[in-house]
């Protein structure tokens, strides 16, 4: 099992949720986050004054999946969230050693 974490532009979130649902992903967790990478923030104008915005709003999506669908999920994330512009985000894949469904006590892939 793997946990796939994607940090994406917030306006791509609904498209990603729909596309992941179409390929059979049953659930995901979303967190509103702020950060920067190569984009390094930007300058905004507010009431006639310029100021630097160092941390940009992003959405962090976490999806726990079985090993056999990892590459498919990654391809869907890349295809759905790519705009070709700087700041499209990143995808991280980590091993998931154990999953337990609290309600039923199921463990492993059955708990996904």
Question: Mean pLDDT across the chain, nearest whole number?
Answer: 90
pTM metric for this prediction? 0.85
For residue 42, the model assigns a pLDDT of 61
Name 3's bridge partners.
64, 94
Q: Where does the pLDDT of residue 54 fall: very low under 50, low under 70, confident under 90, or very high at 90 and above?
A: confident
How far from 25 is each of 18, 31, 33, 42, 67, CA to CA, in Å?
A: 10, 18, 22, 35, 13
Which has the higher per-residue pLDDT, 31 or 85?
31
pLDDT at 25 over 70: yes
All domains in the chain, ordered by first residue:
2-111 (3.30.70.120)
Q: Where does the pLDDT of residue 28 fall: very low under 50, low under 70, confident under 90, or very high at 90 and above?
A: very high
For residue 39, the model assigns a pLDDT of 65
Are 100 and 11 in contact, with CB atoms under 8 Å apart? no
pLDDT at 46 over 70: no
Spatial CA neighbour of 40 closest among 8, 87, 82:
87
C-alpha 8/C-alpha 58 separation (Å) is 6
pLDDT at 47 over 80: no
């Amino acid at each position: 099992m793997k946990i796939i974490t994607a940090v994406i532009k917030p306006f791509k979130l609904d498209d990603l949720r729909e596309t992941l649902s179409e390929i059979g992903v049953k659930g995901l967790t979303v967190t509103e986050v702020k950060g920067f990478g190569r984009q390094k923030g930007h300058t905004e104008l507010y009431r006639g004054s310029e100021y630097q915005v160092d941390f940009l709003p992003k959405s962090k999506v976490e999806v726990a999946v079985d090993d056999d669908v990892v590459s498919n999920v990654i391809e869907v994330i890349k295809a759905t969230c790519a705009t070709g512009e700087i700041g499209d985000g990143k995808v991280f894949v980590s091993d998931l050693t154990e999953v337990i469904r609290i309600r039923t006590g199921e463990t492993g892939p059955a708990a996904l």
